[in-house]
């Protein structure tokens, strides 16, 4: 059975506002939910198991890949990130709109896997603001911050592969949320 809900992919470089915008959209769009990603990275102070991520060992994640339970995954800054088949199917069967905050490779993998989606890329206004956002998060070394900025430069060049690109202007979060909500509502009404 093919799930009924609409999968909405929200991507941006690390620190680009994906989680904040998805949290706001969950309040604006009725019968919506967020996919919870499974990862091997160490939890940050504000992470909550089953709410922000599912945390597993590298061995457990690799076993899920082998058994086909992981439908999309990526290896980023030394850790696996992925979506389980169970999580994706459950959410699409029970919600009209299902958000995921995967990166450009994740979007490519889901699209290649036949998962129809609406994809929106949040483009940072500039890299200096992005570096500040990444730094404020905490839990990252200067080397990790620099690696994320290098990855961000590449990801921004991939934004044209998305259905829509929205500039996430510094200090204009409500405007960005409204712009993304309009895109989704127009898509659903077509």
DSSP output for 70-125? EEEEEEETTEEEEEEHHHHHHHHHH-SEEEE---HHHHHHHHHTT--EEEEEEEES
List, in order, residues 6 or more apart from 111 with CB less than 8 Å away: 117, 119
The structure's pTM equals: 0.85
pLDDT tens for 98-115 read 999 988 888 998 888 888
Any idea which architecture 6-189 has in CATH?
3-Layer(aba) Sandwich (3.40)
The pLDDT score that the predictor gives to residue 131 is: 80
- Which stretches of the chain score pLDDT less than 70? 1-3
CA distance 181 to 187: 10
Q: What is the crossing angle of helices 127-137 and 142-157, to 10°?
A: 140
Would you call 32 helix, strand, or coil by DSSP? strand
The pLDDT score that the predictor gives to residue 1 is: 45
* 64: DSSP letter: H
The pLDDT score that the predictor gives to residue 57 is: 97
Rg (CA), the chain: 16
The pLDDT score that the predictor gives to residue 52 is: 86
Please say whether the beta carbons of 155 and 74 come within 8 A: no
Bridge partners of 100, per DSSP, are 9
């Amino acid at each position: 059975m093919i799930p009924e809900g609409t999968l909405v992919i929200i991507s941006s470089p690390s620190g680009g506002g994906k989680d904040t915008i998805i949290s706001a959209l969950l309040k604006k769009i009725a019968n919506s939910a967020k996919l919870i990603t499974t990862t091997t990275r160490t939890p940050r102070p504000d992470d909550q198991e089953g709410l922000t991520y599912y945390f597993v060992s590298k061995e457990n994640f690799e076993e899920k890949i082998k058994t086909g339970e992981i439908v999309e995954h990526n290896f980023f800054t030394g850790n696996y990130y992925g979506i389980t088949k169970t999580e994706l199917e459950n959410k699409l069967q029970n919600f009209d709109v299902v958000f995921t905050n995967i990166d450009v490779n994740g979007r490519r993998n889901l699209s290649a896997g036949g998962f129809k989606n609406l994809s929106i890329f949040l483009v940072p206004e500039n890299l200096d603001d992005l570096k500040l956002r990444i730094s404020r998060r905490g839990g990252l070394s200067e080397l990790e911050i620099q690696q994320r900025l290098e990855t961000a430069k590449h990801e921004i060049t991939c934004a044209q592969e998305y259905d829509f690109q929205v500039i996430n202007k510094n200090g204009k979060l409500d405007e960005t949320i409204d712009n993304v909500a309009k895109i989704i509502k127009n898509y659903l009404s077509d």
